[in-house]
Amino acid sequence: MASPGKFVSKVELHFSCKNLVNKDTFSKSDPIISIKLFDSARKLWKEVDRTECVKNNLNPVFTKTIYLDYRFEEVQKIKFDVYDVDNESQTLDDDDFLGNLETTLGQVVSASTFTKPLVNKKTSNAGTITVHAEEVTQSKKYLIIQFAGSHLDKKDFFGKSDPYLEFHRANADGSFSLVHKTEVVKNTLNPVWQPFTISAGALGRGEDSCVIKVICYDWDNDGSHDLIGEFTTTLGELLSQKLTSWELINRDKVGKKKYKNSGTISISSVKVFEKYTFLDYILGGCQINFTVAIDFTGSNGNPKSPNSLHYINPYQPNQYMRALTAVGEVCQDYDTDKLFPALGFGAKIGGKVSHEFALNGNPANPYCAGIQGLVAAYQQAIAAVELYGPTNVAPVINHVANFAEQASQDPKGQQQYFVLLLLTDGVITDMRETKLAIIRASALPMSIIIVGVGGADFSAMVELDSDDKALSVGSKVAKRDIVQFVPFRNFQGEHAGENLAREVLAELPGQLTSYMSTLGIAPLRRPA
């Protein structure tokens, strides 16, 4: 429950623009909107999300819904930057600026439908932007639904039609918001579109009576898509899971001689399921098992030297201690026994190099009591082992994966999730084996956080944490993205540890819920 004066709710924003500046010579602009919030502490604008790019259109209606936290007690400055995308790069700095608008989230929310002119110093008329805002309906129901068309109108002179569907949800004020767009099926009057997943909250505000308008268009390359027809339904009708069909009606043809309809649209398949949040699983009894693995290779420097990354300064913790403390303090709140395995790799113990040893010296019981126990075991290991090498991390990943695999196969252990915090000062030397270990772990209830300590070149590590494509080795491909990598040097100042923990743990809730939902695992104690 939010404390007094700290009211927070989630809002969804839908975007459209009109009469944008045309920057393309042989076609129209390809607009995208970058949404930025002002960070008052750092005095800078920070991008929080983007819409999709709409090709070849000066009056775009964007499909992607943007979700933001709305805080009543704060002035949340927000900026919408509109660009014409000209290339495949992720940065917008090299794209043409079309215009922007600075306002506050409070003004957008209070207006419900908010329309203002865009500002561009190079032109007096940069077009307008419209933002429709509504509070998110907390519905856990989701639909996997597939549509098909039959005997659609022929719109193309040299072919048939290239149809696609748009789904528009009725808002509380009577307006409509575009919430989903199917792919285009080329050259057919009997299309079958791919199944798609959408929440009942997004599709119909979670209300069974909410009207949903479905419009079928014939796609054209120049952006002037032709209307085939439309129909209306309700969320309740879709949730009923009946294989219903509707007539497509083209309003421009109604009343004409012999006009009956422009084809029919039917549901090929529909499935309703519940999707739970991270908090649902935590409140339902899910345990997060936290393990630390620390790099003891020689590249860290002699621990007795003040220049070593492992130097124990009695007045100030080193980066290893700060990282494991910051992340551990967050994770320990979700582990009831507060006993954490602590491993090391890359050290020589008794004349033999080990890439998987217990920091407390007890391989049969490598558990440490709380964060203080982790720090104590780390300091004990520094004094007891010889730093050596190379930097092989696959063994510690597989060590944790073994426990995750065992838990996943036990019905009583399915409410467990494993997090490995891996601290290293250099580039991984067993990269292929590490990739294979990560690919294996991606099918298990497990996430990996890698923190780069010191000033080494960590550019090769980015390959392990890529949102663009799945990690692969030959024919083996990761089931999901489970790795988050950051260099510690990116976090400076008094709150470096807090900011590090916030950054590396940001993806963990989504990784946990994606694993659970993929396997159809519900919380043990269902939320009310």
Q: What is the model's pTM? A: 0.62
Residue 280 belongs to some domain of the structure? no
Per-residue model confidence (pLDDT) at position 159: 84
Residue 459 lies in a domain: yes
Residue 353 shares a structural domain with residue 501? yes
Residue-level pLDDT at 7: 47
**Is 26's pLDDT higher than 80?**
no
- Grade residue 438 by pLDDT with cuts at 50, 70 and 90: very high
Q: Does residue 1 form part of some domain?
A: no
pLDDT tens per residue across span 69-82: 888 667 899 999 99
- Asked if 179 and 198 touch (Cβ cutoff 8 Å), the reply is yes
Q: Kindly state whether residues 376 and 244 are assigned to the same domain.
A: no
Q: Are residues 270 and 150 in the same domain?
A: yes
Looking at the DSSP assignment, which residues form a beta bridge with residue 247?
264
Residue 526 lies in a domain: no
Q: Which pLDDT score is estimated for 441?
A: 97
Q: What is the CATH number of the domain that holds 249?
A: 2.60.40.150
pLDDT level of residue 46 (50, 70, 90 thresholds) = very high
Residues 6+ apart with CB under 8 A from 170: 176, 210, 211, 212, 213
149 and 75 belong to one structural domain: no
Q: DSSP character for 461?
A: G
Instruction: Check pLDDT > 50 for residue 191.
Output: yes
Q: Which residues of 257-274 are buried (b: 16+ CB within 10 A; e: fewer)?
A: eeeebbbbbebeebeeee
For range 398-416, the mean pLDDT: 91
pLDDT at 517 over 90: no
Q: What are the pLDDT digits (tens) for 311-368?
A: 999 889 998 998 889 888 888 877 878 899 999 999 999 899 999 999 999 999 999 9
Query: Which residues 6+ apart lie within 8 Å of 59 measured at CB?
Result: 16, 17, 18, 19, 20
Predicted local distance difference test score (pLDDT) of residue 73: 67
3-state secondary structure of 34: strand
Please give the biggest Cα pair distance in the chain.
94
Same domain, 319 and 170: no
Please tell me the predicted confidence (pLDDT) of residue 507. 85
Q: For residues 75 and 145, state if they share a domain.
A: no
State mean pLDDT over 280-286.
81
3-state secondary structure 241-268: CCCCEEECECCCCCCCCCCCCCCEEEEE
Tell me, yes or no, whether 386 lies in a domain: yes
Tokens of 365: 């019981």
Alpha-carbon distance 121 to 129, whole Å? 16
179: part of which helix (H) or strand (E)?
strand 176-181
Domain limit, last residue, from 85, 120, 135: 135
Secondary structure (DSSP) of 375-395: HHHHHHHHHHSEEB-----HH
Residue 524: inside a domain: no
The CA radius of gyration of the chain, in Å to the nearest whole number, is: 27
Q: In degrees rounded to 5, what are phi and psi of residue 217?
A: -120, 155
Can you give the pLDDT at residue 8?
60
Give residue 140's pLDDT band: very low, low, confident or very high (50, 70, 90). Answer: confident
Domain with 437, as residue range(s), is 285-518
Number of domains, the chain: 3
Residue where a domain stops, chosen among 249, 274, 299: 274
The CA distance from 151 to 43, in Å, is: 58
Sole residue written with tokens 């509109």: 82
Residue 525 resides in a domain: no
Residues 293 and 438 in one domain: yes
Same domain, 21 and 85: yes
Neighbouring residues of 410: CB distance < 8 A, sequence distance ≥ 6: none
CATH of the domain at 501: 3.40.50.410
Mean pLDDT of 30-48: 91
Q: Is 149's pLDDT higher than 70?
A: yes
Residue 139: both structure tokens together: 């519905």
Among candidate residues 33, 36, 48, the one with its CA nearest the CA of residue 82: 33
Is the predicted pLDDT of residue 168 greater than 90, yes or no? yes
- pLDDT tens figures, 86-125: 887 778 888 899 999 999 998 898 787 899 999 999 999 9
Same domain, 261 and 336: no
**Neighbouring residues of 357: CB distance < 8 A, sequence distance ≥ 6:** 343, 344, 345, 347, 349, 363, 385
- Does 290 share its domain with 382? yes
Q: Please tell me whether residues 176 and 200 are part of one structural domain.
A: yes
Q: Considering the domain boundaries, does residue 523 fall inside one?
A: no
Indicate whether 480 and 442 sit together in one domain.
yes
Which residue, 109, 135, 161, sits at the end of a domain? Answer: 135
Q: 71 to each of 80, 104, 106, 394, 435, how far by Cα in Å? A: 19, 11, 8, 43, 41
% of the chain surpassing 70 pLDDT: 96
pLDDT at 526 over 60: no
